Amino acid sequence: MARKHFGTDGIRGRANAGKLTAATAMKVGQAAGKHFLRGEHKHRVVIGKDTRLSGYMMESALIAGFTSVGMDVILTGPLPTPAVALLTREMRADLGVMISASHNKFADNGIKLFGPDGYKLSDADEEAIEAEMDREQELAQAQHIGRARRIDDARGRYIHAVKQSLPDDIRLDGLKIVVDCAHGAAYNVTPTAIWELGAAVVAMGVSPNGLNINDGVGSTDLGAIQARVVDEGAHIGIALDGDADRLIVIDELGQVVDGDQIMALIGSTMAERGQLKGGGIVATVMSNLGLERFLAGLGLDLVRTNVGDRYVLEAMRKGGYNVGGEQSGHMILTDHATTGDGTVAALQVLGALVRSGKPASELLHLFDRVPQLLKNVRYAGGDPLNAASVKQAIAGGEAKLSGKGRLVIRKSGTEPLIRVMAEGDDGALVTRVVDDICAAVEAAA
């Protein structure tokens, strides 16, 4: 079924334009509410958001939609995506909603939906909601219109939950940690949780104004935190994205530690302690070949999926794995959360740092990356990947890398971009292959 609204991670787009308007949000509320009005109990939905200016508009429209079909609404205010998933499950809600465009800048926004179990909705549920959005919804009778209330202790509940992911004997005393919250949803909770565990916290990206989320800070713009870690003489830096489901680490030398190295550390540490399930970890086709080789050396598997944390999680649940993630920093640790959680993952890294007594630069660089290059090509419309010239360029690239590396070509699920990635032991060959394919895509776009 062709999707009009939902992409790889809910609905996302330019706020107040195109498909992501207040009218669309109200339709989502009505359609999702109708879809989850099951049974005779009083139905409720938990709604959280990040710090974007448009979040107020989207929140109000969703409230109108849900209450108009008879569902009560619980509002948390700005809170990380994994916190919304947690509260949805703990409060016995029928549905959870996160208003966020994750790592995108403030002008974009999005709607992510969680089921009563705290997991992101299946494709079937999203398709059913899309179908409902095209129908005129039956509104609740006046006496059955839903109510909305804001809860005051949502942040405290989440802070308590993430701290529980660390064993009681682990304290962070003596560590100086730079925490960059991207002026986003975790601006209050993550620095507080790490401080409560004993660390000296240098907080940055914690002054949201509605317009500065992911602007020069956070996991997709690392220059500021790299400099701050070195200037402060910190032991480590923690960089989250706008909705705090993504983590990138900076070692004490200011070097970037991506999701692949983080998964290598968490997976190998848990394997040593007998806590790793499934005999390996789950990652996407974008993870570096170096990670795969490192895990193989430990007798562990790397299961690859399509890009998107929802696909990683599906494979984890199907195969009984408890560690998965993406090179971009989504870390899914199902012993502690039902979705990606940057703060929980950060605490596992900090716990390993404490136990090892090693500097972060030694602990967090467990394998050498195979040369890998990713380039994005923006296109205006149509499908450049169907052009004969592009198919020919891709076939040529695959032939050149045969037995020497990998080639991954895909469309972005959230933007009009073609992503071209290649990796192999010959860096010059990788560059030539990517450049040739990008040139073909640009000519066809």
What would the pLDDT profile of 70-110 be if each residue is shown by its tens digit? 999 999 999 999 999 999 999 999 999 999 999 999 999 99
Average pLDDT of span 154-174:
96
Task: Determine the Cα angle at 232 with ends 225 and 260, to 5°.
Answer: 40
The contacts of residue 437 (CB under 8 Å, 6+ apart) are: 390, 393, 394, 397, 407, 409, 420
Q: What is the mean pLDDT of the chain?
A: 95
Average pLDDT of span 53-59:
98
102 is catalytic: yes
The answer, yes or no, to whether residue 323 has pLDDT greater than 60, is: yes
What is the tens place of the pLDDT at every residue in 262-320?
999 999 999 999 999 999 999 999 999 999 999 999 999 999 999 889 899 999 999 99
Cβ neighbours of 185 (radius 10 Å): 36
Average pLDDT of span 379-386:
88
Domains of the chain: 11-152 (3.40.120.10), 158-363 (3.40.120.10), 372-444 (3.30.310.50)
Q: Long-range contacts made by residues 17-20, C-beta under 8 angstroms, separation at least 24? A: 20/58, 20/108, 20/109, 20/110, 20/111
Determine the Cα–Cα distance for residues 110 and 14; give it in Å rounded to an integer. Answer: 8
Strand order across the beta sheet in which 95-99 lies: 11-14, 108-114, 95-99, 44-49, 72-78, 148-150
The answer, yes or no, to whether residue 1 has pLDDT greater than 60, is: no
What is the tens place of the pLDDT at every residue in 402-445?
888 999 999 887 678 999 999 999 999 999 999 999 999 999 87
pTM for this entry: 0.91
**Residue 2 pLDDT level (bands cut at 50, 70, 90):** low
Determine the Cα–Cα distance for residues 60 and 70; give it in Å rounded to an integer. Answer: 16
Residue 272's pLDDT is what? 96
Determine the Cα–Cα distance for residues 47 and 101; give it in Å rounded to an integer. Answer: 15
Catalytic residue among 60, 68, 100, 102: 102
